[in-house]
Structure 1
């Protein structure tokens, strides 16, 4: 019986690998963790913006770091030296979302109305174009360029034309969404003339159906050009081109998965070997009622250990969610894709809910307790029941719960920052955290492949040839193209791994790589390219712009309507209130404002 069981186990393992296909062998060994550097502002939001730099954005609070005579709440940080350069956004970035455009500009949208210094952030649009000379800053022009409605806790996703879809949120700040403050709409940046809503926000039924617990809904761009969206206990596929919502099987066992019941989610790696079939992984969450008075809740509320996975093809949807279990319940966990195809589950808490200042028995001000210090690895190629492992992993001693972030870096380490479950900078229990950590997988301690020859732009279906230097004994390689995403509140906007078609030349010194087959498989914009050996060891991830590097399309008609909708009081003749069903002709002054906005959109 044991022999037969082992035979079946080997068969199931083989079938799982055959189905998944894209995962590389993973190098065994011990992970290392170092505390190195300070962030200057707490790491509420984090995005890697170049091969050496990351941007960290906080809410407006009383950090010691100053910029232009006032407190700072955003920095650019050098990943290698941890040198910090203060940035100067104008508005409160608290609970904003972020995505990169096709030209490499980061768009931060939404935020908070609370002012310590600066502007109201609810309708804010902030642009950050990375630079190499230390001169770049966050650009805002609140009177000219902003969202068409207020958004607190929205999400965003880059789509196949290189623009950004911004989805959901609340009209005011609150612990949890509700029908009186819900913003059940989405919009595009740059604005689009689409579905009869020229340049303006468009209604979404899903955002009505999922209140109360639908802050920071999970958005994933799919290879067929549609968007997977999940929030609360529901999921759907959204066709933005036809404005159609298609319901998917609900989240099993009543587990809620979006803030303040935050689960981690990720799109598993895509490759030709798995026919580019998208699979969604969602881990953690809570079964707490989203209509409960928070004063009836406790920081000791159990969290869910449920980890679910579904393939979004016809067979996978018919099968529904496959249910697995984390080693422990977890909320606010970050799920980080590794170049070898595995997923790191890290940070968060084992009890309570997200947020601060709400539950009856706050820890300091935190709504959560029992930090999840020990990470775990999820191997999507392993059979169900044996996908989680802690072999060689190391625990942190720094609680990273609400308002913490994590990201893979180009050199292959995982950068860990933040945690501030308080109304302001604090030294109480679970205090404001500025310490930076770097978690290093075992591959950081061995000889790694390297390459040169990656161009600044890498177009779809084009071929490039890299010069590679491979460790002795390497028989083959994979090429992992990764979007490292924008992380906040355990949500990773746009995080993605696509294995590209690659042919290693016979002498193993050159590698011919083909760009993504379609923009839906990897929407045009920043990507980091890792060469991964057959032993699971990645190279440094050099950066390129997938596509041509061009700005996303700008619709002049939508911009004109957008200008009218903004009622720009600073431009004479542009503060126009439209009569129902009619549009005033564009004045010269208003045309000039539209042109200025278009120039900003094309930054």
Structure 2
């Protein structure tokens, strides 16, 4: 799921097809004969894995881009299992994917090798702009072991695109040729790729090194990368790997990347904290049960070979989180537990500085074919984390409402410009009854965070806010009423792309507020592109009650954007801010059934969560 301007989404999913090769033949036959493995219900005249969805109208259009009756892999290919990122110009780049040969639909064959594709989504369609290099094995070119399946993609401060990690082929952990422990740089200005550079950490953590977690560091501009239990800082200018930091291994939690992935995020960045980058990973998969004994891995009971990376559908989720001040000399991981154990959740930065933790499983982990899952016991209750609260405060971790649709493997969640969170996906809806139940979720849901229920939220005068901003400039933000002195924070939150519990685009940067007037404030844009990588952002203002503006301004932040410093500020209009922090007053939790309103009253803010299903929406594709 990728966010586009004006409340639109690009959605990509896997074809609805029989379970993968291998496994129990009798179970496979049951699945195939149950009838739920049919073409996507929304498909029309052509086969596709992608749609564009307009949340304003609840309408979608399927995107026709897959090759028909072509030589294998000649044109654009299957995008599912790709990595994606928001580009500086506001388009979305998608890299890698999967191979699908001779997919028959309406009497025609569709063939593709999506693993080698670099595509850009612009003007309502994917455009193939480059091909990842094929691999050479024993002196011969191999297209089989080429490209990337489950790579991570990240926009760099100079507008180039980092492509890192993933495997050459569908998950085959005992095949060393499957590993792709490298990164390469895509240059959008020339549609060209740099030579791949080896990352030793990805060699060390194979095969649990898919979708490595990556972030641009705000002080150095280098890239922090985490896979398995290891994290390093990579200088993409020279390929050096520095500042290696290992996660604790004595907690017996499996490595923190696919298929044992946690939720992850960066705390908001601010001048007040010297733009200190604090990375969080939350949840994941335990290798032991409540009794402390190892949980049997897949195949162990049948006497099959078992490895440290073997699947474990019976392994419980963990509530353990770790945080790290990445650019602080000598920093070490700090442990803390959230209220609910969950694996493969998705974290969403919210305009009030909190983080919503969405979806996930109470048992098992990512992986498995649709209808034959490795994850069970969905965790539907949202947890809201407030990094501004001290450890031990009851306001640091709070529980919200429960979703009505389980979001496990392949789910997505991202912030919208009205402050809500849209959730979608999941191909494990039959985690209780594998046979005879369609595993594919065809619904989107909207989560309303606590601030949505605060009365009289402020309004931006959106027509007075520029749509293109540059760095280290002053900017006047106008409101429709005289609420400016009550504004506590102004921030930018970058547009998101989400897959497999990862969202590397997401980033919140707090802006300096320089002056207040009755109906406007003067702020300064971020200092540079290391702190706020170029691209599309939502511009938010939040008052002292924790209430964000009713609608964020959508802007593009880029070095080359023409922007003058704000002028015309009348010093006689300057006033003092009026917002104050109130002491919390803890009250009891109350609620209703799942999917309705549940509330926690805490101080001056009512914490209320509600999930609303979009009735009639059948657009998981």
Contact (CA 8 Å) 1:366, 1:430: kept in 2 or not? no
Is structure 2 residue 506 aligned with structure 1 residue 495?
yes
Match of residue 262 from structure 2: 263
1:445-456 paired onto structure 2 within 5 Å: 445=453, 446-451=455-460, 452=462, 453-456=464-467
Encode CA deviations 1:533-577: one digit per residue, 9 max, x unaligned: 121111212211101567xxxxxxxxxxxxxxxxxxxxxxxxxxx
1 CA distance for matches of 2:373 and 2:343? 13
Contact (CA 8 Å) 1:260, 1:354: kept in 2 or not? yes
Match of residue 484 from structure 1: 495
Q: Which of 536, 539, 543 lines up with 2:546 in the alignment? A: 536
1 CA distance for matches of 2:207 and 2:189? 29
Match of residue 379 from structure 1: 386
Encode CA deviations 1:435-466: one digit per residue, 9 max, x unaligned: 11000123223222222222221001122212
After the TM superposition, which of the residue ranges 537-546 and 442-451 deviates more from structure 2? 442-451
Q: Matched residue of 2:272: which SS?
A: helix
Match of residue 93 from structure 2: 107
1 CA distance for matches of 2:427 and 2:242? 37
Q: Which of 226, 229, 235 lines up with 2:231 in the alignment? A: 235
Report the alpha carbon displacement of residue 347 of structure 1 after superposing the two structures with TM: 0.3
Q: Which of 343, 356, 365 lines up with 2:355 in the alignment? A: 343
1 CA distance for matches of 2:213 and 2:97? 17
Is structure 2 residue 418 aligned with structure 1 residue 411?
yes
Report the alpha carbon displacement of residue 66 of structure 1 after superposing the two structures with TM: 2.5
Encode CA deviations 1:107-140: one digit per residue, 9 max, x unaligned: 00000013433411111111112x5xxxx21223
2 CA distance for matches of 1:326 and 1:48? 28
Contact (CA 8 Å) 2:90, 2:535: kept in 1 or not? yes
User: Residues 396 and 314 of structure 1: is their aligned pair in 2 closer, same or farther, counting only changes over 3 Å?
Assistant: closer
**Higher helix fraction: Structure 1 or Structure 2?**
1
1:21-420 paired onto structure 2 within 5 Å: 46-61=1-16, 62-66=39-43, 69-90=45-66, 91-115=77-101, 116=103, 117-129=110-122, 131=123, 136-140=124-128, 145-148=130-133, 149-174=146-171, 176=173, 179-190=176-187, 199-223=194-218, 224-252=220-248, 253-255=251-253, 256-288=255-287, 294-296=298-300, 297-315=311-329, 318-357=330-369, 364-386=371-393, 393-420=400-427
User: Residues 267 and 473 of structure 1: is their aligned pair in 2 closer, same or farther, counting only changes over 3 Å?
Assistant: closer
User: Residues 214 and 428 of structure 1: is their aligned pair in 2 closer, same or farther, counting only changes over 3 Å?
Assistant: farther
Match of residue 431 from structure 1: 439
Q: Which of 480, 491, 494 lines up with 1:469 in the alignment? A: 480
2 CA distance for matches of 1:152 and 1:433? 23
2 CA distance for matches of 1:484 and 1:428? 38
Report the alpha carbon displacement of residue 192 of structure 1 after superposing the two structures with TM: 10
Report the alpha carbon displacement of residue 469 of structure 1 after superposing the two structures with TM: 3.0
Encode CA deviations 1:382-408: one digit per residue, 9 max, x unaligned: 122347767572111311100110001
Contact (CA 8 Å) 1:324, 1:385: kept in 2 or not? no
Structure 1: stretches of 5+ with no match in the other structure: 1-45, 358-362, 551-603
Report the alpha carbon displacement of residue 418 of structure 1 after superposing the two structures with TM: 0.6
Q: Matched residue of 1:469: which SS?
A: coil
1 CA distance for matches of 2:97 and 2:237? 27
- TM-score normalized with structure 2 length: 0.73
Report the alpha carbon displacement of residue 237 of structure 1 after superposing the two structures with TM: 1.1
Q: Matched residue of 1:493: which SS?
A: coil
Is structure 2 residue 493 aligned with structure 1 residue 519?
no
Q: Matched residue of 1:368: which SS?
A: strand
Contact (CA 8 Å) 1:217, 1:231: kept in 2 or not? yes
Encode CA deviations 1:228-275: one digit per residue, 9 max, x unaligned: 111111111111112111243311234321000011111110001111
Match of residue 582 from structure 2: none
1 CA distance for matches of 2:435 and 2:384? 32
Contact (CA 8 Å) 2:485, 2:516: kept in 1 or not? no
User: Residues 182 and 534 of structure 1: is their aligned pair in 2 closer, same or farther, counting only changes over 3 Å?
Assistant: same
2 CA distance for matches of 1:379 and 1:422? 31
Report the alpha carbon displacement of residue 492 of structure 1 after superposing the two structures with TM: 0.5
2 CA distance for matches of 1:198 and 1:398? 40
User: Residues 191 and 526 of structure 1: is their aligned pair in 2 closer, same or farther, counting only changes over 3 Å?
Assistant: closer
Match of residue 599 from structure 1: none
User: Residues 382 and 430 of structure 1: is their aligned pair in 2 closer, same or farther, counting only changes over 3 Å?
Assistant: farther
Q: Matched residue of 2:128: which SS?
A: coil
Q: Which has the higher contact order (CA 8 A, sep 6+)?
A: 1
Report the alpha carbon displacement of residue 301 of structure 1 after superposing the two structures with TM: 1.0
Contact (CA 8 Å) 1:97, 1:109: kept in 2 or not? yes
Encode CA deviations 1:308-330: one digit per residue, 9 max, x unaligned: 11112335xx2411100122321
RMSD: 2.7
User: Residues 166 and 474 of structure 1: is their aligned pair in 2 closer, same or farther, counting only changes over 3 Å?
Assistant: same
- TM-score normalized with structure 1 length: 0.75
Match of residue 578 from structure 1: none
User: Residues 192 and 104 of structure 1: is their aligned pair in 2 closer, same or farther, counting only changes over 3 Å?
Assistant: closer
Contact (CA 8 Å) 1:176, 1:215: kept in 2 or not? no
Report the alpha carbon displacement of residue 171 of structure 1 after superposing the two structures with TM: 0.6
Aligned residues: 483
Match of residue 8 from structure 1: none
